[in-house]
């Protein structure tokens, strides 16, 4: 059966690379050896891009052999050219990883000095090289390839079966039998009640498949629902997500929506429908993050063109160059006074580090913004913005490039930002290092750079005493954290702290704290959710200015007050994996849980252990179990020790971090004064580097939440590493989990933080 080109995503927004910095008049650049495997020395510049989509497991291809697969994608990239040629396609060549020239088309789409390149890519994606900058290109061979005009393939098959399929298993079974093509169309949306392929009435039976790609601009939880005239089955990335078992015409209601967590990017989907008579219509709905209800998926959410992400830029002469790409989001953010689109700025400059360190500065409309290699800025939609990247070596500018960006967006989101306090110490001492720590929460996980400001003033909006500013790059709501060194107010009088979060000049969220010296006013304070608050409900920070910090009496009262507030409950709850090795050959093993229980003094406090879930889903399945466990207990300290299960199963690190974060949020909701202790996974004997990724993830979560971090990975992964995993039988066998010596080392590390 003929394989046609399928076609992908909503906006051709992407990848622009600059060549303008190499034009005469810019800073001189040294030469290096030319890159290897250059297509033709007549081409001056080369941009490497990468095409990636989530595709279903090809091992089940036999289930869908009667259907037409999407063999090709249409990828979109942008290159920066200073002197556009009249025949753009003649000045572009696209080459795949095998060195084969790929069909392409090039267009100027009202973007200054920007050439949009559309090219054919296989379903599995991969690396591609775009060559440009040829003053006298040879005419390319004409081909019949054209970019996509529709985003979805609508295929209907008549099935040779007396069984009307009412389950996905039955649909797969009838497709393996005899089928005949009833009709095929390309469409842009799944929202119609019409008969697009002319199904015949009568006792015939059909299976209809709508196949394409969803563009998820926002990572997070999505709800999907199918509303169809017959049984319907929605598969995303090869997994069954939502079903509709009714036999009726599509209604105005969405029944039984199902939830799935999707990463940002392109996700393959297949919607299968069983029809007894003529086609009665189908609707496919979703509820993306930030939306309050399920609605028909808009046409721009289906991928017509896939963005080819830029990887590196090179010149035929190998000279050093400054250049960058930018990636515009198609989802705009509605701020209080303006609407902005997050634009990712990607530095692809190639300078020789052996000649000295190179520093970079991003400027937008003349204002210095960031020095990061990558940054995501909110640019107002509908306006032109000058984006400039400068490179410096030893204080001397060695390169610059300026581009114009006019962002747009197909849809808008209305995020509500909050600054949730992680750490707001009620009592601080001058000379101690204390921080105000926050999590930045939003109804929509958007990657962007934010500005924060910390202002210390006299009460009631009086004179400013101190002020600090900074920037924060946010990759998603669960990753956002802000920690600011706290002024302990050595002024001997009350003051106020205001922390604000803003983007593109608009204030998104703010928090206020009342700071007062220790004194009789403390008696007038009240406690709420584990914090002292004033009569206006603002958290209160009690500051003591000690002239002589070595005098014990001046520390005694506030120290005692602080210890009573945070350590009144001595009960400990441990949730985790005992990491006990499987007995064999008569061996007996111990584990750190039993060792902790043995050390526990009787009568003074309780030690409670709950073993984590052994679900194949890893730590994601632990969240509901942990929620139930913490709701039934009243601990003063909670220890979370996940062990190696997630490492061994290869649970995505992002899911690992998110699950731990949710557990900490549950603890904080239970009682903000509970002490939180996170224990890293130990080294994995067969892959120490892999287990270190999870160790680093746990460390970041602990830092973000001001939790105690117990690092058993590095404690065991030293010069005596084998000592902690070797069998006592001395038979060259090494255990998956630490041996008795390792368990004792883990016990010692945890004990010092809960004793």
Confidence of residue 235 (pLDDT cuts 50, 70, 90): very high
- The rounded mean pLDDT for the chain is 80
| pLDDT in the model for residue 523 | 64
Confidence of residue 31 (pLDDT cuts 50, 70, 90): low
Q: Which of 158-167, 310-319, 709-718 has the lowest mean pLDDT?
A: 158-167
Q: At residue 2, does pLDDT exceed 60?
A: no
For 657, other C-beta atoms within 10 Å of its C-beta total 20
Mean pLDDT over residues 341-357, rounded?
A: 90
Q: Which of 36-50, 95-109, 516-530, 597-611 has the lowest mean pLDDT?
A: 516-530
Q: At residue 549, does pLDDT exceed 50?
A: no
| pLDDT in the model for residue 720 | 74
How far is the first Cα of the chain from the last one, in angstroms, to the nearest whole number?
71
The residue among 69 and 40 whose pLDDT is bigger is 40
Confidence of residue 297 (pLDDT cuts 50, 70, 90): very high
Tell me if domain 320-409 and domain 416-566 are identical in fold: yes
| pLDDT in the model for residue 735 | 83
- Name the class of domain 416-566: mainly beta
CA dihedral 421, 427, 429, 434 (to 10 degrees): -20
Provide Rg for the chain, Cα atoms. Answer: 31
Q: At residue 491, does pLDDT exceed 60?
A: no
> Which of 701, 634, 635, 630 is closest to 666 using CA atoms?
630
Mean pLDDT over residues 543-567, rounded?
A: 49
The residue among 485 and 242 whose pLDDT is bigger is 242
Question: Does the pTM exceed 0.75?
Answer: no
In CATH terms, 320-409 corresponds, of 2.60.40.10, 2.130.10.10, 1.10.290.10, 3.40.50.720, to 2.60.40.10
Is it true that domain 152-296 has CATH number 3.40.190.10?
no
Axis-axis angle for helices 592-599, 740-754 (nearest 10): 50
Mean pLDDT over residues 209-235, rounded?
A: 88
Q: At residue 531, does pLDDT exceed 80?
A: no
For 138, other C-beta atoms within 10 Å of its C-beta total 10
Cα–Cα distance, 477 to 600 (Å, whole number): 39
> Which of 141, 284, 305 is closest to 209 using CA atoms?
284
Mean pLDDT over residues 8-28, rounded?
A: 37
Cα–Cα distance, 25 to 153 (Å, whole number): 50
- Fold of the CATH domain 572-754: Rossmann fold (3.40.50)
Cα–Cα distance, 279 to 273 (Å, whole number): 10
Cα–Cα distance, 78 to 348 (Å, whole number): 14
> Which of 202, 163, 154, 162 is closest to 182 using CA atoms?
154
Mean pLDDT over residues 88-108, rounded?
A: 87
For the stretch 134-181, pLDDT in tens is 877 777 777 788 898 899 988 888 888 777 888 888 888 888 888 888
Cα–Cα distance, 627 to 664 (Å, whole number): 10
Reading across the β-sheet that carries 358-364, which strands appear in turn? 367-370, 358-364, 385-393, 396-405
DSSP states of 378-447: EEETTS-EEEEEEEEETTEEEEEEEEEE----SEEE----EEEEEE--SEEETTS--EEEEEEE-SS---
The ranges assigned to domains in the chain are 152-296, 320-409, 416-566, 572-754
For the stretch 198-212, pLDDT in tens is 776 667 788 888 999
| pLDDT in the model for residue 385 | 94
| pLDDT in the model for residue 694 | 93
332, 380 contact by CB (below 8 A): no
Cα–Cα distance, 113 to 119 (Å, whole number): 19
Cα–Cα distance, 209 to 275 (Å, whole number): 11
| pLDDT in the model for residue 552 | 37
53, 265 contact by CB (below 8 A): yes
Mean pLDDT over residues 268-296, rounded?
A: 84
Q: At residue 8, does pLDDT exceed 70?
A: no
Tell me the pairing of strands 72-80 and 306-307.
Answer: parallel
Confidence of residue 569 (pLDDT cuts 50, 70, 90): low
| pLDDT in the model for residue 1 | 35
């Amino acid at each position: 059966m003929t394989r046609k080109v399928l076609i992908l995503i909503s906006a051709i927004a992407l990848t622009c690379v600059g060549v303008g910095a190499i034009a005469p008049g810019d800073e001189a650049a040294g030469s290096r050896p030319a890159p290897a495997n250059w297509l033709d020395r007549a081409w001056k510049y080369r941009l490497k891009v990468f095409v990636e989509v989530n595709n279903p497991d090809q091992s089940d291809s036999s289930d869908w052999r009667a259907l037409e697969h999407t063999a090709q994608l249409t990828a979109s990239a942008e290159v920066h050219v200073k002197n556009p040629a009249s025949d753009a396609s003649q000045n572009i060549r696209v080459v795949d990883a095998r060195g084969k020239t790929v069909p392409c088309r090039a267009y100027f789409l009202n973007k200054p000095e920007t050439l949009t390149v559309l090219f054919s890519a296989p379903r599995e994606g991969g690396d591609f090289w775009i060559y440009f900058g040829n003053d006298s290109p040879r005419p390319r061979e004409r081909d019949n390839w054209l970019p996509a005009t529709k985003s979805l393939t609508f295929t209907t098959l008549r099935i040779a079966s007396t069984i009307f399929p009412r389950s996905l298993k039955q649909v797969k079974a009838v497709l393996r039998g005899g089928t005949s093509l009833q009709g095929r169309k390309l469409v842009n949306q799944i929202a119609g009640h019409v008969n697009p392929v002319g199904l015949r009435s009568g006792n015939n039976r059909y299976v209809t498949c709508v196949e394409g790609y969803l563009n998820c601009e926002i990572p997070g939880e999505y709800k999907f629902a199918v509303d169809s005239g017959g049984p319907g089955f929605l598969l995303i990335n090869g997994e069954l997500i939502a079903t509709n078992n009714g036999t009726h015409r599509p209604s105005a209601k969405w029944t039984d929506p199902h939830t799935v967590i999707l990463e940002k990017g392109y996700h393959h989907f297949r919607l299968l429908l069983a029809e007894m008579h003529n086609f009665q219509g189908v609707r496919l709905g979703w509820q993306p993050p930030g939306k309050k209800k399920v609605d028909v998926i808009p046409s721009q959410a289906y991928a017509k063109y896939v963005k080819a992400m830029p990887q590196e830029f090179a010149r035929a002469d190998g000279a050093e160059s400054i250049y960058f790409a930018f990636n515009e989001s198609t989802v705009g953010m509605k701020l209080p006074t303006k609407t902005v689109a997050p634009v990712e700025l990607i530095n692809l400059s190639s300078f020789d580090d052996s000649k000295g360190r190179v520093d970079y500065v991003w400027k937008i409309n003349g204002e210095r913004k960031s020095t990061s290699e990558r940054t995501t800025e909110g640019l107002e939609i509908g306006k032109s913005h000058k984006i400039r990247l400068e490179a410096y070596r030893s204080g001397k500018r060695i390169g610059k490039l300026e581009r114009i960006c006019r962002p747009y967006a197909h849809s808008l989101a209305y995020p509500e930002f909050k600054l949730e306090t992680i750490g707001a110490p009620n009592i601080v001492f001058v000379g101690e290092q204390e921080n105000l720590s926050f999590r930045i929460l939003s109804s929509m996980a958007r990657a962007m750079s934010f500005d924060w400001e910390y202002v210390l003033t006299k009460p009631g909006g009086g004179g400013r005493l101190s002020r600090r500013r900074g920037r924060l790059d946010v990759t998603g709501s669960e990753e956002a954290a802000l920690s600011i060194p706290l002024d302990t107010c050595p002024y001997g009088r009350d003051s106020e702290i205001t922390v604000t979060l803003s983007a593109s000049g608009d204030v998104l969220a703010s928090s206020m704290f009342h700071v007062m010296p220790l004194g009789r006013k403390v008696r007038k304070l009240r406690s709420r959710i584990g914090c002292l608050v004033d009569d206006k409900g603002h958290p209160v920070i009690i500051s003591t200015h000690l002239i002589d910090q070595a005098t014990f009496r001046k520390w005694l009262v506030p120290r005692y007050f602080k210890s009573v507030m945070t350590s009144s409950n001595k009960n400990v709850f441990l949730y985790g994996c005992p990491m006990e090795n499987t007995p064999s050959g008569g061996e007996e093993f111990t584990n750190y849980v039993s060792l902790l229980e043995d050390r526990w003094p009787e009568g003074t406090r309780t030690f409670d252990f709950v073993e984590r879930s052994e679900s194949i889903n890893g730590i994601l399945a632990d969240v509901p179990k942990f929620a139930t466990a913490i709701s039934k207990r009243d601990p003063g300290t909670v220890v979370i020790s996940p062990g190696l299960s997630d490492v061994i199963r290869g649970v995505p690190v992002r899911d690992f971090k998110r699950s731990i974060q949710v557990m900490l949020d549950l603890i904080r909701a239970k009682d903000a004064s509970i002490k939180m202790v996170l224990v890293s996974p130990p080294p994995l004997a067969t892959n120490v580097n892999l287990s270190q990724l999870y160790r680093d993830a746990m460390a970041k979560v602990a830092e973000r939440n001001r939790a105690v971090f117990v690092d058993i990975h590095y404690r065991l992964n030293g010069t005596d590493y084998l000592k902690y995993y070797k069998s006592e039988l001395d038979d060259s066998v090494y255990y998956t989990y630490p041996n008795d010596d390792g368990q004792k080392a883990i016990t010692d590390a945890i004990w010092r933080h809960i004793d």
